[in-house]
């Protein structure tokens, strides 16, 4: 591709993401905040979050569980969250013995309990293994949430609640899902009362707050002191 074509494609990509985020901001923030409130009422009393996706959406699911088991911005207790694709022995055994469509449903049946939350991420909303997981989760009494691409799609229909990104670009949908997951973590931290939690508008409470990257690099901003992760 000529350099001009590459730049045009990059601009189009950024424009697509910008439009999706405007839509998320105007129509999805209350839902994400409500999910954070629900998790804050569920995880601290022994509930757990199960999360699943395929490909890039699997990475997004694992990103979410890492933020909850570890931390998002500030030090707080660990909470139970499991990315169902991360157990490779179970994954390959189930796929080999029961087929790819049962990959997540069988794990939901094993790990899920009534009142737990199942988060399913899919750009198409049509992955058979996620549809089976949603059906199994609802039958077992879990609260099923979906993050998908445009409506209508089968996964949004089968979930209790869905956040749908109205873009035809897989990359844009996944990037928007990541923003929504971070906003979900912000809402959760706010609701569980994390000291010095940064507010959604980017300001810090009085006294100054340090911001910590949930990927675990321990980088702090704003001059506050933050306890580092313990050494391995």
Q: What is the pLDDT of residues 11-20, one digit of tens each?
A: 999 999 999 9
Q: Is the pLDDT of residue 74 over 70?
A: yes
pLDDT at 12: 93
- The predicted-structure confidence for 8-44, as pLDDT tens digits, reads as follows 999 999 999 999 999 999 999 999 999 999 999 999 9
Q: Residue 2: what pLDDT? A: 80
For the cut 80, the answer to whether the pLDDT of residue 107 exceeds it is: yes
Q: For the residues 208-213, what does the mean pLDDT come to?
A: 36
> Are residues 196 and 204 in contact, defined by beta-carbon separation less than 8 angstroms?
yes
User: Using CA atoms in the order 166, 137, 71, 210, what is the torsion angle rounded to 10 degrees?
Assistant: 40
For residue 59, with 0-12 CB atoms within 10 Å meaning exposed, 13-18 middle and 19 or more buried, which class applies? middle
């Amino acid at each position: 591709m000529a350099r001009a074509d590459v730049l045009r494609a990059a601009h189009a990509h950024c424009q697509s993401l910008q439009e999706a985020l405007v839509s998320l901001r105007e129509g999805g923030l209350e839902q994400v905040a409500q999910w954070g409130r629900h998790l804050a009422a569920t995880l601290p009393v022994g509930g757990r979050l199960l999360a699943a996706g395929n490909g890039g959406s699997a990475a997004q699911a694992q990103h979410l569980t890492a933020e909850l088991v570890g931390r998002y911005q500030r030090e707080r207790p660990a909470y139970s969250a499991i990315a169902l694709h991360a157990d490779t022995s179970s994954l390959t055994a189930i796929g080999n013995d029961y087929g790819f469509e049962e990959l997540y449903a069988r794990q939901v049946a094993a790990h899920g309990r009534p009142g737990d939350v199942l988060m399913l991420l899919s750009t198409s909303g049509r992955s058979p293994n996620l549809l089976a997981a949603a059906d199994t989760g609802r039958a077992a009494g879990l609260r099923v949430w979906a993050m998908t691409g445009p409506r209508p799609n089968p996964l949004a229909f089968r979930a209790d609640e869905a956040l749908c990104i109205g873009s035809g670009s897989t990359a844009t949908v996944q990037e928007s899902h990541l923003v929504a997951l971070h906003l979900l973590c912000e809402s959760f931290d706010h609701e569980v009362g994390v000291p010095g939690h940064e507010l959604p508008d980017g300001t810090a409470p009085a006294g100054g707050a340090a911001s910590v990257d949930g990927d675990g690099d321990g980088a702090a901003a704003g001059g506050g002191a933050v306890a580092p992760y313990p050494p391995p």
